[in-house]
Chains A and B, each alone.
Chain A
């Protein structure tokens, strides 16, 4: 067993446990996007950053890939962590402003405006679809292609893959496939802003099936302040 401290709480975990798993066990919320149980950790989205070690030598690591080590001191919500997370969300939002999941994350993490140029990409290269295809479906039909700015996900030679069984797993896990509810509303508005204004009876934890019914949308109201 390995002893470590997360947010001042001493805990014991088995060897090979990641910080994210240990924090989840303690009920500490760490947002994730490219992480999914049953798939290997990938560390692509950097949303799950936490601060390890003690000042001034502390550093930010992705908790989904960092294994717990003896005596490790982890802080999951320092101002440095929150700032880094917010920046990651802003960048993700600029890449895919149309994604409901990213919009939800943004409003959940108090991102109130979009400062960067909107790209309207259809992929954030989180690798969830390639991993589910390889690890759960044993198909390896899609994968990463190219490098740098030209990196994309797809089948070889852009033709239908012989390995693909059309299971739809890739679409199921994709965080940007689902469009936000106010897609036709003001460009730079942040969807689900209404949740931050709405009556406290609305459960704020999970936005899974919640769709906004406010008419007109108040997302633009938030942008103003």
Chain B
């Protein structure tokens, strides 16, 4: 845990006058759990007793005091899933991973948790792994799900059918192409967007090669900064509804010509990206 990051979060909330839960949420989003030192810093900064902060942190199930694994497996134990034998699915996960529900594997790969309802009862029993939904899960599928998660869903998709390839993207708001043939990165036209962080505002060029992380920008962007992306044509912010599963910064969506969408994490240095080619007519 870096105390600077916690300080940064505390300062941000101090300016906004936000309460304790918002601060804890941000710390949890950043470290995926609430480190003890961070709670002590929060208590000092808010001039509260540590036990008050600790009470809030243990009260809400969204907060975890233990480090979480790389992959989060949430198995639904709601009423509908329960009658469809979801408890057996949980047991199967427990025996496969060698942990109990709510625990993390010693190699910090998997965290298994149970949730009360995921709101898709007709598809039960449901298991969500890193944001990917599995419906009508049977006991025999558990092993496959764990294997798939280990390989990583995004990389598995690419490695199966695609090698590194260039994409041609456009703004999801105005549909104007974002490709800049004047600037070439990796021998292909780059993706040009407007980037803004802090007081800086300027152009940003991304490699259009899917799998390449080359970036050039007008202003030097420090790592860990969350950058706001704007379309250079309609000036609308490229903002999706989802957050990065790794660092929980907002994901930036772009339309791929030919159909589909791909999303990149807006945090500098986070290489998370998602390719959604559902509905593509090949």
Interface residues of A (CB under 8 A from B): 134, 140-147, 155-157, 161-163
- Whether B49 contacts A144 by the Cβ 8 Å rule is no
**Which of B50, B52, B58 is close to A147, meaning CB atoms less than 8 Å apart?**
B58
- Are A157 and B36 closer than 8 Å at their CB atoms? yes
In the bound complex, do residue A143 and residue B51 qualify as a contact, i.e. CB atoms below 8 Å apart?
Answer: yes
Q: A140 to B49, Cβ gap below 8 A?
A: yes
What is B's interface to A at a CB cutoff of 8 Å? 36, 39, 49-55, 58-61, 65
A sample of 23 cross-chain residue pairs with beta-carbon separation below 8 angstroms, ordered by A number, consists of A134-B49, A140-B49, A140-B51, A141-B49, A142-B51, A143-B51, A143-B52, A143-B54, A143-B55, A144-B55, A145-B58, A146-B59, A147-B58, A147-B59, A155-B51, A156-B39, A156-B50, A156-B51, A156-B53, A161-B50, A162-B50, A163-B49, A163-B50
- Complex: A163 Cα to B40 Cα, angstroms: 13
Chain A residues whose CB sits within 8 angstroms of the CB of B60 once the complex forms: 147
Sample of 12 more A-B contacts, CB < 8 Å, known A143-B52, A144-B55: A140-B49, A141-B49, A141-B51, A143-B49, A143-B54, A145-B54, A145-B55, A146-B58, A161-B51, A163-B49, A163-B50, A163-B51
Q: Shortest beta-carbon distance, A187 to chain B, in Å?
A: 32
Residue on B nearest A144 in the bound complex, by CB: B55
Cβ of B65: which chain A residues have Cβ within 8 Å of it? 157
In the assembled complex, which residues on chain A have CB atoms less than 8 Å from the CB atom of B39?
156
Note all chain B residues with C-beta closer than 8 A to A143: 49, 51-52, 54-55
Cβ contacts under 8 Å, A162 to chain B: 50
A144 to B39, CA, bound (A): 16
List the A residue with the shortest CB-CB distance to B40: A156
Give bound CA distance, A147 to B51, whole Å. 14
CB distance from B49 to the nearest CB of A (A): 3
CB contacts (< 8 Å) of B52 on chain A: these are: 140, 143
Q: Cα distance A145–B63 when bound, in Å?
A: 13
CA distance A143 to B60 in the complex (A): 15
Q: Are B49 and A157 in contact (CB under 8 A)?
A: no
Q: Which residues of B contact A141 (CB under 8 A)?
A: 49, 51
Measured CB to CB, the nearest residue on chain B to A154 is B51
Docked CA distance A67–B65 (Å)? 39
What is the CA–CA distance of A156 and B42 in the complex, to the nearest angstrom?
Answer: 14
Residues of chain B with a CB closer than 8 A to A155's CB: 51
What are the residues of chain A within 8 A of B51 when measuring CB–CB? 140-143, 145, 155-156, 161, 163
User: What is the CA–CA distance of A161 and B52 in the complex, to the nearest angstrom?
Assistant: 13
Task: Report chain B residues within 8 Å CB of A134.
Answer: 49
A145 to B52 CA separation, bound complex (whole angstroms): 9
Q: CB-CB < 8 A to B55: which residues of A?
A: 143-145
Rounded to whole angstroms, the CA-CA distance of A161 and B43 in the bound complex is 14
